[in-house]
Amino acid sequence: MRRILFPGAIAAAIAITAASFCSLWVRAEAFGHVYDESSVPPAPVAIVLGAEVYPGGEPSPFLAARLDIAKRLLDEGKVRAILVSGDHSRWEYDEPGSMQVYLVARGVPAAQVVLDYAGFDTYDSCARAKRVFGVRKAIVVTQSYHIDRAVTLCRSQGIDASGVGDDSVRIYTEPWAHSYVREQGAILKAAFDTISHRDPVFLGRHEPGIDDALRDS
């Protein structure tokens, strides 16, 4: 029995150490770059990271809160364009399209909303923002439990990224708790992605949407 338990204990200790190290790395890299909405410095672009969209196309409360922040940043002149980046890997499921519909319905000019249909995870969203859309400086918008990782990953891709995290949906206690636990595993993946310098799932030629939106804003 001892021979079985000892390797397991070592593996568990290594996993805990790795998770702790990665969490410290994320916090250190994001330190000084996460703000509340009122104090975040201006940037040309807000990157809104995708989240669940319901079958009818309605954004989940998490995603709606992110979009509301991006709209306010645009209204206040802190950004000039919004890049909505999410999952459209299946025809019937379209995070970026739903995000665009939500923003335009609330008065955001369609020309200032740029869609990234291949933001399958945070790393892909950040990598494509820089390498496909040419974003150099941005405000990343997501929930507060996620914001350190998002800022760290975008900065690792060469974007001068600041972040704003939303706390308004904490009343949805079970989803928030589930997302917080999931985030701990996602931090390990973020470290692996950054160290491996992997390409995003889809990496195509330069798309001019952000250039056009900034020129016309």
pLDDT in tens, 183-215: 777 888 999 999 999 999 999 899 999 999 999
pLDDT of residue 169: 79
Number of separate domains in the chain: 1
Give the total residue count for the chain: 217
In this structure, are residues 152 and 190 in contact, taking their beta carbons and an 8 Å threshold? yes
C-alpha torsion 188→189→195→201, nearest 10 = -170
Could you tell me the CATH number of the domain that includes residue 190?
3.40.50.620
pLDDT of residue 217: 81
In this structure, are residues 121 and 49 in contact, taking their beta carbons and an 8 Å threshold? no
pLDDT in tens, 155-192: 999 999 999 999 987 654 455 555 656 777 788 899 99
**pLDDT for 18 beyond 50:** yes
Share of the chain above pLDDT 90, in %: 76
The DSSP code sequence of 49-108 is EP--B-TTSPBPHHHHHHHHHHHHHHHTTS-SEEEEE-B--BTTB-HHHHHHHHHHHTT-
pLDDT in tens, 120-147: 999 999 999 999 999 999 999 999 999 9
- Domain extent at residue 172: 2-216
DSSP category for residue 110: G
pLDDT of residue 173: 47
Residue with tokens 């979009």: 67
Q: What distance in Å separates the CA atoms of residue 108 and residue 200, rounded to the nearest whole number?
A: 29
pLDDT of residue 21: 76
